[in-house]
A and B are shown apart, each in its own frame.
Chain A
């Protein structure tokens, strides 16, 4: 018999209000032997001023005097509270302090090492995107890009950054992409799904032009700060409606990209739908194709049925994984989308994290499993 007590802080009380004080165990509860890619990792800043070394002095004073004016009102960050602190796992607080996702060494210890992550794509969400002052938006985005190199990608070669850009200012965004083009610290351009207008519209075209020129895919991650209601029918009452609404928002984004002809203009552009599900892909495609047959003359710039652009240009991250009761339904979905189009992602350290050892049910072939966990990401991002 063997009983071992672990040395760790214990919660002081059952009082619900104090439970956020519970410290982490740092224990990884599952281990995966095969190497994986994680195509959605969220790095955070340990302190509010962590970006200052990468921002001109004038912006320090500006931020302290005026702060940021987001499109969606007098709020910093997403408008709906997140159910877990910082929308993150309660066991992911770094031992040295700071919010979840703010420590490279703890990320290595808790996630990258035990899960055998050989390629991790960083998707910073709290950037300059969605700030009404476009000069400030561009400055913060550029600072975030420098910060990704300095704090993360130069310190751990498994990690790759995303070029974040001032999404509402096409010229500034394109300039930032051209500045970073060829820098192997970055593997994609990152946008969010909620913007001032649907992402296919022409104010965003300079972003796609610069990304295609740089040979970089464009990832579109759920959330964003466009100022519009977060569902197509208005502001909902519950956080759960925001969570399931990402799929709906992403559908409007994808329809806009296809129907505005973005993929006709940029035939080599690749895009990734991040954290918005993929179960809706067949239904949206069928509906688009059916309606296209009736309304083709409205969008004569399209030369092919909409579904063909989607199949050719779109990749999908897996988290939060579709979870039907019958696994054959999941496999039917993936068969439609293509086993070569899914990119495994955990969303670490966020609370709806998918554990790599639990996500894909038994029944996938070895080749499909390898593609799902690593091969597709390596190919798309050009990482050998």
Chain B
């Protein structure tokens, strides 16, 4: 089917104008807004290390942050669930087939 990227020139491209319009609106808003100066991070101290500490609620980072231990665990569970779902979706067809044949077989036996 889609062996290589190909630029389509069908009428469906026209709808993409909406995306451009959205960009126009957003850009107009952003560019006319003023946010003031950035606070930034002081030069001394490792940002990466601070992220690591923040993720496990350790109070040793160089920069302020909230604790994210619970979020970390929740995301871990979500990832796990997504993995299971992916496996399930991938296997379902086969299982149904086997179940159907099994069911027919057992019913026939009885």
Are A and B interaction partners? no
